[in-house]
Structure 1
Amino acid sequence: MHRRHLLAGAQHPFAVIVGCIDSRVPPELVFDQGLGDLLCIRTAGQVLDEAVLASVQYGVEELRIPLVVVLGHERCGAVAATLEHLRTGAPVPAHLNLLVDEITPSARRTRALPGDWAEHTMTAHTRWVRDAIRADPAFRRAHVAAARFDLDTGLVSVLP
């Protein structure tokens, strides 16, 4: 309660986390951080849209946060739904089209790689989101990194 009262007047998070909505991957718990430490922006499959980019920009420009981390994770449901659509050609319901449209290029680029297509897709998509944020002049003042959360071990590894 004391920390909440200290933060009531202003916030000073040290990192923006662009992560997935998966209930198994709450950034504050993944990184062992508390109230006010992280500015978390979560969408299924950490898919970018204008609201996400505006939120990241708010953190970087208005709150002067120096670090943006794009956090992917294994066994991502948004990636699995995209791969299922690509395998079967089944129609994608309504708003889920945005997710499938954003993740599909990574899935197509990694389809021929040996090993786990879902893992390769998640990694490629996480890197793509990182690179898209890095390339945007609005985020020049921040360091932008990509990372992968392992659901089985609880470890986070930085992606090259």
Structure 2
Amino acid sequence: MIPALEALKRLQEGNRRFASGVMSLDKLASANKRTDLAAGQEPFAIILGCSDSRVPAEFIFDQGLGDLFVIRVAGNVVAPSQVGSVEFAAECFNTRLVVVLGHSRCGAVTATLEEMKRPTKSQSRNLRSIVNRIRPSIEGLLEEESPSSHEKLMQRAVRANVRASVNQLKHGSEILEQLTEENGLLIVGAEYSLDTGLVHFFDGVPLD
């Protein structure tokens, strides 16, 4: 079992490699590694990220086959199936780090802001279910928006949505609460920049 802080350091180092364009050749899947992993897995981190095609966790953290347990859903929202997936990995694989990974200019957050400004009747109930999960975390921000601050509003909304998902994982599961209190589980929030390729961990990260 890899402790949470060591796992976090691995992710940070991997992301620095990715952002600088220096990827690890040993992360490429070999036939031997595929065979070894067929018998079982021991991912060192759980990533709950957005489905956006520009934010593949294995790439941006420079990790290979079997390193990460990745759950992807538009807007990195937390619903029962996502909570259950995190519980499964944390319990079955003794993975001690969970990262909720948002990203700049998130389409799901943008859709939520637009729906709040100009409600539509034609939106599908499935998309609306995502919007409704994001809405509570950003409603207060919309009231503060000024005509020239849309970009700033988006930045704050993305982070508010990540914080809300972190909070739901921390306090919406007895299993995760117990693992946090007794077994060193750490749940943190982060944002990936589409422009720089860097991930900034900003919520739940212990101070040095």
TM bucket, shorter chain: over 0.9
Identity of aligned residues (%): 39
- Structure (1 or 2) with the greater helix fraction: 2
Q: Using the alignment, how far apart are the partners of 2:191 and 2:98 within structure 1?
A: 14
Name the count of aligned residue pairs: 160
The residue identity in structure 1 corresponding to 2:160 is A
Q: Using the alignment, how far apart are the partners of 2:44 and 2:91 within structure 1?
A: 13
CA displacement 1:55-78 (0-9 Å, x = unmatched):
000011111110000000001110
Aligned residue in 2 for 1:73: 103
The TM-score with structure 1 as length reference comes to 0.95
Q: Using the alignment, how far apart are the partners of 2:163 and 2:100 within structure 1?
A: 8
Runs of 4+ in 1 over 4 A off after TM superposition: none
Aligned residue in 2 for 1:101: 132
Aligned residue in 2 for 1:146: 189
Q: Using the alignment, how far apart are the partners of 1:40 and 1:157 within structure 2?
A: 18
Structure 1 position 109, deviation (Å): 2.1
Q: Using the alignment, how far apart are the partners of 1:67 and 1:109 within structure 2?
A: 30
CA displacement 1:28-78 (0-9 Å, x = unmatched):
001110000000001000111111111000011111110000000001110
CA RMSD of aligned residues (A): 1.2
Mean Cα deviation higher: 118-127 or 108-117: 108-117
Equivalent residues in 2 for 1:1-160, closer than 5 Å? 1-91=31-121, 92-111=123-142, 112=144, 115=149, 116-135=152-171, 136-140=173-177, 141=179, 142-160=185-203
Q: Using the alignment, how far apart are the partners of 2:48 and 2:140 within structure 1?
A: 22
Unaligned runs of 5+ in 2: 1-30, 180-184, 204-208
Q: Secondary structure at the match of 2:187?
A: strand
Q: Are the equivalent residues in 1 in contact too, given 2:102–2:192 (CA < 8 A)? A: yes
Q: Are the equivalent residues in 1 in contact too, given 2:47–2:99 (CA < 8 A)? A: yes
The residue identity in structure 1 corresponding to 2:174 is P
